[in-house]
């Protein structure tokens, strides 16, 4: 059972060149009866949580985020998490639920980044859906790049606009050594391809 009122909270992305907020990521939360906010993360990580209820929760959080994007400066982007496992279940001709939500909320797709959050799902099917997102004007990000296993095949297949470096990789790079060399190489690759690099775990 999913207990609480679904809503979106927002985490900012800071442009290191200007020090200004470039966009925000929508994070799912449940408002409890006592007013506290609880992350939806454990629900999505629990295999016993009903899949239909999770999809409904995900769309409710996304709808809330999109409805509030009009309150933000017009040059901010909004990053929305997308599960490749769910994408793989869509029929080839089926309208994409996320794009229908954008239309319903009158949000310009060019302000949206769809963030691929995990390694599951069929890469070929995922690439087809990503192409439809791009055709609409949205951008694509791959989350947790460098998190313990290679995702190079997914990067080559999807050609993302944004790579979000795994928090542990970036924190290790801050201490120097091989991880630092890896991050520098990724930054050079990103500069050549026009891909953005987002570093997670910089709060401290």
pLDDT digits (tens, 9 = 90+) for 38-48: 999 888 888 88
Q: What pTM value is reported for the model? A: 0.84
User: What CATH architecture does domain 5-164 belong to?
Assistant: Alpha-Beta Barrel (3.20)
Choice between 69 and 163, residue whose per-residue pLDDT is larger: 69
- Label each residue of 28-83 as H, E or C: EEEECCCCCEEECHHHHHCCCCCHHHHHHHHHHHHHHHHHHHHHCCCCCEEEEEEC
Domain boundaries of the chain, sorted by first residue? 5-164
pLDDT of residue 121: 62
The whole-number average pLDDT for the span 163-181 is 85
In tens, the pLDDT along 73-132 reads 999 999 999 887 777 677 777 788 899 999 999 999 999 999 987 666 677 888 888 899
């Amino acid at each position: 059972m999913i207990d609480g009122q679904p809503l979106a909270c927002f985490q900012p992305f800071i442009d290191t060149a200007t020090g200004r907020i470039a966009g925000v990521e929508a994070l799912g939360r449940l408002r409890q009866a006592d007013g506290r906010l609880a992350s939806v993360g454990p629900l999505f990580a629990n295999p016993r949580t009903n899949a239909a209820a999770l999809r409904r929760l995900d769309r409710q959080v996304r709808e809330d985020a999109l409805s509030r994007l009009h309150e933000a400066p017009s040059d901010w982007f909004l990053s929305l998490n997308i599960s490749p496992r769910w994408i793989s279940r869509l029929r080839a001709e089926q309208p994409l639920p996320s794009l229908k939500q954008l239309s319903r909320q009158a949000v310009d797709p060019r302000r949206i980044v769809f963030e691929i959050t995990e390694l599951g799902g069929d890469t070929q099917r995922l690439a087809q859906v990503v192409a439809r997102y791009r055709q609409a004007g949205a951008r694509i990000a791959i989350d947790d790049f460098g998190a313990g296993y290679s995702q190079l095949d997914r990067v080559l297949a999807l050609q993302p606009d944004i790579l979000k470096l795994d928090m542990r990789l970036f924190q290790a790079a801050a201490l120097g050594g091989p991880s630092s060399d890896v991050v520098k190489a990724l930054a050079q690759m990103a500069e050549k391809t026009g891909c953005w690099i987002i570093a997670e775990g910089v709060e401290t």
